[in-house]
Structure 1
Amino acid sequence: MYSCLDFTYNLKETLRGPRATAATTQREYLTNRCQGPANKLECGFLLTAIEPPSIESPPLAVTARPTNKGVPPRKRTETTSSRSIVRAKRLEMTDSLHNAPIVLDNGSGTIRAGFAGDDLPKCYFPSFVGRPKHLRVLAGALEGEVFIGQKAATELRGLLKIRYPLEHGIVTDWDDMEKIWEYVYGEGLKTLSEEHPVLLTEPPLNPRSNRDTAAQILFETFNVPALYTSIQAVLSLYASGRTTGIVLDSGDGVSHAVPVYEGFAMPSSIRRIDVAGRDVTEYMQMLLRKSGYVFHTSAEKEVVRLIKESVTYVAHDPRKEEKEWANRTDPAKGVEYVLPDGHKLKIGAERFRAPEILFDPEIIGLEYPGVHQIVVDAINRTDLDLRKSLYSNIVLSGGSTLTRGFGDRLLTELQRLAVKDMRIKIFAPPERKYSTWIGGSILAGLSTFRKVGYNLLAYSFPWAQFTAESRG
């Protein structure tokens, strides 16, 4: 009997699944394990015998020993053959490490994927899974239990019950997350996961268990040859061409400020709040309901998100804006938005009230500081000698920072909170919606990238030892 991490297999039973096929004897088990079509030493599992060994072990991560005394000893030529197969698989995996890495920017709201060295991601779509909410009655109807990608986000949206597997940067449904990754490889990139190393992004201060489970799935299910994880904000700084600065990254699930000086990140100075674009969407949905426009299904919530991205803006002075709307001195400020069914919405003060929660989360009852405050707090947690350089290199990243007026309002708030006469400079790259992915493409395209991270052969128990994370 073999113990494979937390799995135990009998030698004489037929094994199913991605880890082994038809292991009726010890010799067949090892041969099939190395020769499987979708197998590159599988997950690099370390197999150990429960009973005393009597056969010489092949090299690398596989140790084979018989458990039945009746099994005849293997000939020298057979052992050499097994060793040759293992060596061949090792060389094959080494070749795959030299293929172009895949950069996987796993955002809470959207997923961006592509090959290292490219200017823009090849695959970009909302990171949700849609399931039909109506009964299929025609034989020629759409087939499939789940729908993912641009088609699900546009044509089929009204037929689906939509669910995001990520909330505030943390995966809450790994089955759906795995389906999204399958779509990325099969339909988006049209490549085999076994042939490319992966750079995976994540927000800072995420639970270690989230990263480890992601690595477990990528190694076991997708058989990726190597994996490296990096903080999203650090990659955004790569994309800006700077080695010193503080990145304010506000996406769909998380907003965070990460200071970096001469290429060194300062983990103790990182500040994060779980207030971002999805919270703005939900607040916009509530404000529209108060105005008489009800959007209650998950598909209609996606319509609200599109409204938010089209018409909202951040007020330079929210109190002044509120007074103007209260006195109705400028009714022309309201805008019309045409719904998919042709109806027109008249949207007024909701345009600036919804994104205001980014600067004042207490509006929706959350005891978080605003995005401007986390920038100042992060800088104040660094040494005195570094603060001047950080204030003059503030880099914006993430889709929520694309809201009109965001940069101007941030500058005003920082000038109010910072030391008098402090020189503050904010950089807002026009491509900041993709900044994290672009930075990952730059990093993974370096010749030294293959030397970092953990590969398939290094994958072993316990889980907490097999993932690599960026230190800066």
Structure 2
Amino acid sequence: MPFTKPVVVIDNGSYNIKAGFACDNHPVSIFRTAVGRPKFLKGTYGRTPYEVYVGEDAVARVDELDLNYPVVKGRITHWDDMERVWHHIYYRELKAAPEDRAVLLSCAPATTMKDKVKCCEVFYEALNAPALCVKPQSVLALFGSGFTTGISVGLGHDLTEINPVYAGGSISYANMLTNIAGNEITNFIKHSFRRRGIRLGKQLDDVLEDVKRNYVYVTENGAVKKQDYKKSFTLPDGKTIDVSDESLMAGEMYFQPELVLGKKLTSDVIPIQEAIVTSILKCDSELQPEMYDAIVTYGGMGTMPGLNKRLARELEAIINRPVNVIPTSEAYAVAWLGGAVFAGMAGAKRLWVTKKQFEDQGERIVKNRF
């Protein structure tokens, strides 16, 4: 099935969505996965005319809009809003007609077949796309790092998911969740500020996001030199606050949650290094050595300084052998890049489902291809 124009690659995320063309080496657009409607509607949608805002436009009007986030923990929970987001990508961000281009759509490793079929319905019936391929983000992250076998460690906004991949196929029965993600980091910093009496009002969300993205780091062994420990943050009003504890301890949540959470620690929270080892042990014994040779971290929290070195150190201490944690400067976009790589592979085009094939065979061909 020849594609006459570059494939559109869309990487769905709970916090941000990335979109662009397979011929590019970086997404054209990255924006918040959010949809906003006027608060005065109070749920009475459709009775009076109103404007719907998507992405950064919606977030900028948070005081006057009810915001909805259609992707929660990797799953699409509001299909009408997700359709609006995809529509926005084509007509506002990419300036491309959906009927002209095949689409590669990323999904969470645990996405159900029912949801994949629903994606086909939206793209074929509402957007009139000619062909669609749905691939797990974990597989694409490995592709984007130059591997087809290994462990994908997705550090997202509301989900940290470990997924083994062998020869380009997801081993879904070995998936693991740590139940510590970017959202828990944000809450930790927020509660720390509150405990210290720091009140920021409407600036709070922006400050929390800035501290999380630019100040949180991971030490190599859980310790830090005094001169490197001090971190100061300048608020929008010019006042300076100390964020040393928050910067250090937030990153430690992934590796030592019991140290940071204390009595708030629940039984379902697992240190990331233990979750990775458990996930690999669930795989067939002959595959396990290969998994340690390519460990790829991706997602927004995958950009934390020091993360990969610490992860390698912790894993080697458990299994007593070298591991290969793949460094990348663009962990937030590596799954999208893997999608662009996959879309350009000669043999990949047979994995797309065309609109006509879906109309003729329905759910059966989705199960076969995806």
Name the TM-score, length of structure 1 as normaliser.
0.68
Aligned pairs, how many? 358
Deviation, 1:205, is 1.6
Preserved contact between residue 248 and residue 394 of structure 1 (Cα < 8 Å): yes
The answer as to 2:318 corresponding to 1:417 is: yes
The answer as to 2:13 corresponding to 1:99 is: no
Q: Which whole-Å deviations, capped at 9, do the CAs of 1:17-67 have from their partners, x for residues lacking one?
A: xxxxxxxxxxxxxxxxxxxxxxxxxxxxxxxxxxxxxxxxxxxxxxxxxxx
> Residues of 2 paired with 1:293 and 1:161: CA distance?
27
Residue 218 (structure 2) aligned to one of 310, 314, 317: 314
| Amino acid corresponding to residue 291 of structure 2 in structure 1 | L
The answer as to 2:300 corresponding to 1:399 is: yes
1:109 is aligned to 15
Preserved contact between residue 231 and residue 470 of structure 1 (Cα < 8 Å): no
> Residues of 2 paired with 1:149 and 1:179: CA distance?
10
Q: More deviation in 278-287 or 430-439?
A: 278-287
- Secondary structure of the structure 1 residue equivalent to 2:177: strand
Aligned CA distance change for structure 1 residues 248 and 182 (closer, same or farther; 3 Å): same
Preserved contact between residue 453 and residue 469 of structure 1 (Cα < 8 Å): no
Preserved contact between residue 26 and residue 333 of structure 2 (Cα < 8 Å): yes
Deviation, 1:126, is 1.6
Residue 178 (structure 1) aligned to one of 83, 89, 98: 83
> Residues of 1 paired with 2:40 and 2:238: CA distance?
24
Residue 441 (structure 1) aligned to one of 318, 337, 340: 340
Preserved contact between residue 228 and residue 468 of structure 1 (Cα < 8 Å): no
- Secondary structure of the structure 2 residue equivalent to 1:349: helix
1:123 is aligned to 29
2:285 is aligned to 384
> Residues of 2 paired with 1:372 and 1:146: CA distance?
42
Deviation, 1:303, is 3.6
Aligned CA distance change for structure 1 residues 266 and 442 (closer, same or farther; 3 Å): same
- Secondary structure of the structure 2 residue equivalent to 1:400: helix
Which one has the bigger helix percentage? Answer: 2
The answer as to 2:251 corresponding to 1:346 is: no
Aligned CA distance change for structure 1 residues 215 and 317 (closer, same or farther; 3 Å): same
Q: Which whole-Å deviations, capped at 9, do the CAs of 1:383-441 have from their partners, x for residues lacking one?
A: 333333322322222221211221122122212211x3x12221111122211001100
Residue 146 (structure 2) aligned to one of 241, 244, 262: 241
| Amino acid corresponding to residue 248 of structure 2 in structure 1 | F
> Residues of 1 paired with 2:336 and 2:99: CA distance?
21
Which structure 2 residues correspond to residues 52-201 of structure 1 after superposition, within 5 A? Answer: 97-131=3-37, 145-153=51-59, 156=61, 160-201=65-106
Q: Which whole-Å deviations, capped at 9, do the CAs of 1:171-194 have from their partners, x for residues lacking one?
A: 222222222112111110011111
> Residues of 1 paired with 2:252 and 2:357: CA distance?
47
Residue 459 (structure 1) aligned to one of 358, 367, 370: 358
2:157 is aligned to 252
Deviation, 1:225, is 1.2
> Residues of 1 paired with 2:304 and 2:99: CA distance?
39
Preserved contact between residue 168 and residue 274 of structure 1 (Cα < 8 Å): no
Deviation, 1:222, is 0.9
The answer as to 2:123 corresponding to 1:224 is: no
| Amino acid corresponding to residue 21 of structure 2 in structure 1 | F
- Percent of aligned positions with the same letter in both sequences? 28
Question: Which sections of structure 2, spanning at least 5 residues, go unmatched?
Answer: 42-48
Deviation, 1:169, is 0.7
2:46 is aligned to none
Name the TM-score, length of structure 2 as normaliser.
0.85
Aligned CA distance change for structure 1 residues 468 and 447 (closer, same or farther; 3 Å): farther
Residue 356 (structure 1) aligned to one of 227, 239, 252: 252
- Secondary structure of the structure 2 residue equivalent to 1:449: helix
Q: Which whole-Å deviations, capped at 9, do the CAs of 1:108-149 have from their partners, x for residues lacking one?
A: 1110001112111111112122445599xxxxxxx9633223
2:45 is aligned to none
> Residues of 2 paired with 1:342 and 1:470: CA distance?
55
Q: Which whole-Å deviations, capped at 9, do the CAs of 1:58-90 have from their partners, x for residues lacking one?
A: xxxxxxxxxxxxxxxxxxxxxxxxxxxxxxxxx
Aligned CA distance change for structure 1 residues 214 and 131 (closer, same or farther; 3 Å): same
Preserved contact between residue 351 and residue 369 of structure 2 (Cα < 8 Å): no
Aligned CA distance change for structure 1 residues 134 and 405 (closer, same or farther; 3 Å): farther
Q: Which whole-Å deviations, capped at 9, do the CAs of 1:356-399 have from their partners, x for residues lacking one?
A: 33234563544132221121112222233333332232222222
| Amino acid corresponding to residue 401 of structure 1 in structure 2 | G
> Residues of 2 paired with 1:281 and 1:469: CA distance?
40
> Residues of 2 paired with 1:397 and 1:263: CA distance?
17
Preserved contact between residue 166 and residue 173 of structure 1 (Cα < 8 Å): yes
Residue 171 (structure 2) aligned to one of 254, 262, 266: 266
> Residues of 1 paired with 2:110 and 2:315: CA distance?
24
1:335 is aligned to 231
Q: More deviation in 254-263 or 191-200?
A: 254-263
> Residues of 2 paired with 1:144 and 1:191: CA distance?
25
Instruction: Give the CA RMSD over aligned residues.
Output: 3.0
Preserved contact between residue 246 and residue 259 of structure 1 (Cα < 8 Å): yes
| Amino acid corresponding to residue 327 of structure 2 in structure 1 | A
| Amino acid corresponding to residue 92 of structure 2 in structure 1 | E
Preserved contact between residue 233 and residue 247 of structure 1 (Cα < 8 Å): yes
> Residues of 2 paired with 1:221 and 1:238: CA distance?
30
Preserved contact between residue 460 and residue 466 of structure 1 (Cα < 8 Å): no
2:272 is aligned to 371
The answer as to 2:194 corresponding to 1:289 is: yes
Preserved contact between residue 24 and residue 340 of structure 2 (Cα < 8 Å): yes
Aligned CA distance change for structure 1 residues 412 and 179 (closer, same or farther; 3 Å): same
